[in-house]
Amino acid sequence: MTIFKSFLSIFFVFLLALATTKAKAQEEGSLPMNGDISNGTRLYRVHCTVCHGFHGSGDGPARATLKKAPADHRNGSLMNARDDQMLLSTVLNGCHTRGCSKAMPAFGDGLNSLDAWDLVAYLRSLHMPLVNFFPKVSQYLVKQYHIGHLGNDDFKDGQMERLKKYAGRVSPQDLTKTIFPLFKADSRRPNPELVPQEPRRLARLKKADKLGYVLFMEMIGPRKRKVPIGLAIDRNYAIVKLVTTLDDPGQAGEYNRRLEKYVGMGKRGDAPKFKTGRAKVNRIFDKAVIRVYALAVEAANAFELEERERSWADDTF
Ligand code: HEC
């Protein structure tokens, strides 16, 4: 009987531990409260616009006096790579502890943490969040690759050959890509968690839970116009979503109608032969989309190479 009792108490301690870790996991990476965007907007105009610009794209009047350009808060690649805590801490303490410029001031003396949360809420409204691409995302990573620099010679040559074929000429800048691999998890979170690049955390991400990848890139549109886009591909490399992040609603609508046609196209291992029509404008879009798609696929290939190596090392394959 006593053995049974002590077994029971151990069991309850175990249950309690399980419940607290779960609650902790849910707390991590989620906003403790919803910030007030309208107060955030007002504070941004007062404190941030001078450097970060009226629309947050980093082109405020003080830009010219700074060595380092203020961050572009509309840039999905940059902003999705920061979780809410990082943004909050940046507003209160600056970000020089993470190696960024001291020109980014600390506002902790003038603003309280409620105001800082309101600013975070406003910052979040300026860029396209990852849930827009995969509503089920619950955890994600941010990775940066210089395509063609990872893996053995066969792998690298394969990447460069495919890019030459589908993307045409690529500059070193084109080859540096930020990619967000997205995962779903059992526990639901109000906000997806940015998983830190620690071997133990990485090992816990299951390949079977991978939803796909998101990248923010620039596409060359008609009249050589640079068009910022967000591209999501699923784990089999089919296009799930392709949208422009242009501010101008009229222009964005026109581009998005064209970009939507590519959803469902593309497949792992297949040559991207996207055709949406015979008109010149269709051909310009087809070529431009094939190019960004080819770059996205190679960035995903680089991630999957690392993922395979990680699984071998952990013996989870
Ligand atoms: C005096 C100019 C200046 C002002 C004012 C300013 N910033 Fe910045 N901010 C910068 C610069 C410069 C950087 C780029 C730092 C770097 O990347 O090294 C930056 C970067 C950032 C980043 C990105 C940090 C990261 O993790 O890379 C955030 C977020 C940010 N600022 C938010 C704000 C907010 C919110 C305000 C207003 C409360 C503000 N900034 C006011 C100059 C400024």
The response to whether residue 103 sits with its C-beta less than 6 Å from ligand 1 reads yes
Does the pLDDT of residue 33 top 80, yes or no?
no
Q: Which atom of ligand 1 is nearest to the CA of 100?
A: 18
Q: Which atom of ligand 1 is nearest to the CA of 86?
A: 26
The response to whether residue 81 sits with its C-beta less than 6 Å from ligand 1 reads no
Residue minimizing CA distance to atom 42 of ligand 1: 104
Pairing type for strands 143-146 and 193-194 reads unpaired
Name the percent of the chain lying above pLDDT 70.
87
Q: Which atom of ligand 1 is nearest to the CA of 69?
A: 12
The response to whether residue 87 sits with its C-beta less than 6 Å from ligand 1 reads yes
The response to whether residue 104 sits with its C-beta less than 6 Å from ligand 1 reads yes
Q: What is the mean pLDDT of the chain?
A: 89
Residue 234: the pLDDT is: 98
pLDDT-derived band at 26, boundaries 50, 70, 90: very low
Q: Give pLDDT tens digits for 69-125.
A: 999 999 999 999 999 999 999 999 999 988 999 999 999 999 999 999 999 999 999
Can you list the domains of the chain with their CATH numbers?
A: 25-127 (1.10.760.10), 132-310 (no CATH)
What does the CA dihedral 177, 178, 184, 188 come to, rounded to 10 degrees?
-170
Give residue 96 CA to ligand 1 midpoint distance, Å. Answer: 10
Q: Give pLDDT tens digits for 189-224.
A: 778 999 999 989 998 899 999 999 999 999 999 999
Q: Give pLDDT tens digits for 50-62.
A: 999 999 999 999 9
Give residue 314 CA to ligand 1 midpoint distance, Å. Answer: 39
Give residue 284 CA to ligand 1 midpoint distance, Å. Answer: 37
Give residue 35 CA to ligand 1 midpoint distance, Å. Answer: 19
- Distance (Å, rounded) from C-alpha 252 to C-alpha 227? 9
Mean pLDDT of 139-168: 96
Does the pLDDT of residue 27 top 50, yes or no?
no
